[in-house]
Amino acid sequence: MHFFSHWFSQKKPLIFYGVSAAALMICLVGSHQTIQAYAPLPSQAKEVSSLEGEVTTPYLETEEAVLTALENSFTVDTQKRAQAEAQAARIERQAARQKAEEAAAHLPEGLPLEGVITSEFGGRSDPATGQDSRHDGVDLGVAEGTAVAATAKGTVVFTGEMGDYGLTIVIDHGNGYETWYAHNSLLAVTEGTIVSRGNIIAYSGNTGYSTGPHLHYEIRQNGVPIDPLSPLPSTDEA
């Protein structure tokens, strides 16, 4: 017993240090297990990384795709609007051109036939009586039966006998203009007929108050006779 007590007293520091080292090892092992318990496994880390990728990169790509789609849509809409505006402008110009051409087609131009002007517009001596009188048109001396053409597009509003005018045709051209063709021998159109410039409407003659075969041609604007030899205002000025 005395020997054991003496041995223990001699070995006590070594035993203490051994027990302490063992305890330290146990603590270290426990701490390592604890650290491993809280650290993510490689597969878990991969899942976390994948999850983070799904949250960030695809979101940014989707946002860029949306912005790109909006920009493309805006570009397409702008192009379509520009094309539509250009088409509308072309249609408007075409309509304006057609309107101007149509208005010009209704404006009397030139003379109904080629002939010698035997009496002009305005004051003159009456060919039958020699007295001063007013002449509301021009007389074109031609052989009887010469074709008479309309000088503008319009609607025939009168055909037949008209007192001193003899066989007469009146055409309404719109915009207040009318043309009168008198002393004909034969009429080639009827009331309501729509004619164009150059269409044959009658044949010259010597009917009514006349001293020889000729065509009496008048232009009236709002019922007032005007000089057929004077240029008419353009469609923009009319």
pTM (two decimals) = 0.63
pLDDT tens per residue across span 134-183:
889 999 999 999 999 999 999 999 999 999 999 999 999 999 999 999 99
Q: CA-based angle 199:158:203, to the nearest 5?
A: 45
CA distance 174 to 222: 10
pLDDT tens, position by position, 25-70? 444 444 444 434 444 444 444 444 444 444 455 556 677 777 787 7
Domain spans in the chain, listed from the N-terminal domain onward? 116-226
β-strand pairing of 177-187 with 167-174: antiparallel
∠ CA 220-224-226, nearest 5°, is 60
Distance CA 22, CA 28 (A): 10
In the CATH hierarchy, which fold is given to the domain comprising 116-226?
Glucose Permease (Domain IIA) (2.70.70)
Produce one character per residue of 23-56: b if its CB has 16 or more CB atoms within 10 Å, e if not. Answer: eeeeeeeeeeeeeeeeeeeeeeeeeeeeeeeeee
Cα distance between residue 11 and residue 9, in whole Å: 6
Going by C-beta distance under 8 Å and a sequence separation of 6 or more, which residues neighbour residue 112?
Answer: 140, 148, 149, 150, 151, 179, 181, 215, 217
pLDDT in tens, 115-127: 999 989 988 777 6
**C-alpha dihedral sign at 178, 179, 184, 187:** negative
Question: What is the DSSP track for 103-129?
Answer: HHHTS--S-SS--EEEE-SEEEE-TTT
Coil, strand, or helix at residue 41?
A: coil
